A = this chain, B = another copy of it.
């Protein structure tokens, strides 16, 4: 569904099912954009209209998509959905049909419900591309790809790597997309590390090894990916206290020594200092967190350019 008949990327909804070749193409394309100075804007999306549909707030993701669109010379309209017709009782389908009738070329969708971006892609006219900027607990594919770009920049090949994802796997769309991306790119070993209550049942089928003990999980890692712990989780029965979580699963300088000495530390942000990660690690020499943010714009430019390549007549590579 994400691919056009010629195999080109049409929508970008999930990593699942995409070929290693296509993922590599996204990474290569992003590298090209990284080398372009912002002074030299790319004209790739000139005359195209990008609509930001953020049903859920996100400063970071919305801003990087907006910057990416600007640097590709697109026109951008950001809809404040909370004030929109949907609050007048209009269905999502009607909203999408109406926005589609406004001659736009791309929807960037962030939604609290899993599957929203797929639903929209299924129901919008064929000339429109849909990019998933995070849907419920399901997927956040551009986040995963910017993480892959970061890993490739520091570690080159994925095959020899041991990568651990640590934290609230159960509720994390980021983790799900990262796992798909890492396994597609043939990463040597992918581990998920969390208390039992935060690991989805049957996750082994995604090709990962499960660790409930942080120390064991960290052993010999090349890449340590921390997830943000939603503080809401504490209130439910899933977790004891913030303090206890940190004592068991917080990434400290001490614990980080269990990983390889040149391991990199990643986090999708925003960071909860002292909850899932110690400030000395977040700001330390192994942290590549801000590099991830920087890569986010290039990845989004790449995906935007590639999904529009059928329309712009531009070759995707």
Pair B270/A88 contact, Cβ less than 8 Å: yes
Taking chain A's interface residues, is the majority helix, strand, or loop, or is none over half, making it mixed? mixed
Please indicate the chain B residues that have their CB under 8 angstroms from the CB of A94 in the complex: 269-271, 273
Kindly identify, within residues 46 to 84 of chain A, every residue whose CB is under 8 Å from any CB belonging to chain B: 46-49, 57, 59-60, 63-64, 66-67, 70-71, 75, 77, 79-81, 83-84
Q: Are A47 and B40 in contact (CB under 8 A)?
A: yes
Q: Which residue of B is nearest A37, CB measured?
A: B47
Q: Which of A94-137 contact B (CB under 8 A)?
A: 94-95, 97-105
- Asked if A247 CB lies within 8 Å of chain B CBs, one says no
Which of chain B's residues has its CB closest to A59's CB? B84
A125 → B minimal CB distance (Å): 10
Q: Mark A260-276, 1 if CB is under 8 A from B, else 0.
A: 00000000011111000
* Chain B residues whose CB sits within 8 angstroms of the CB of A103 once the complex forms: 38, 67, 294, 297
A:197-234 near B, CB below 8 Å: 231
Residue contact B294 to A97, C-beta cutoff 8 Å:
no
CB contact under 8 A between A75 and B85, given known A47-B40, A293-B102: no
Q: A89 in the interface, Cβ–Cβ < 8 Å?
A: yes
Q: Which residue of the partner chain, among B39, B85, B100, contacts A47 with CB atoms under 8 Å?
A: B39
Contacts of A38 in B (CB 8 A): 47-49, 103, 105
Q: Does A254 contact B (CB under 8 A)?
A: no
Residue A6 at the chain B interface, CB threshold 8 Å: no
A290 near B63 (CB under 8 angstroms)?
no
Whether A70 touches B85, Cβ cut-off 8 Å, given contacts A90-B271, A101-B293, A290-B98, is no
Is A280 at the interface (CB under 8 A from chain B)? no
Cβ of A41 < 8 Å from any Cβ of B?
Answer: yes
Closest-by-CB residue of B relative to A104 is B67
Give the docked Cα–Cα distance between A291 and B98 (Å): 9
Can you list 7 residue pairs at the A/B interface with Cβ under 8 Å?
A: A38-B103, A59-B79, A70-B77, A90-B270, A94-B270, A94-B271, A98-B290
Given A38-B103, A91-B273, A100-B290; 20 other pairs, CB 8 A cutoff:
A38-B105, A39-B47, A57-B84, A59-B80, A59-B85, A60-B98, A64-B102, A67-B75, A67-B103, A67-B104, A88-B270, A89-B231, A90-B270, A94-B269, A95-B270, A98-B290, A101-B290, A102-B297, A103-B294, A103-B297
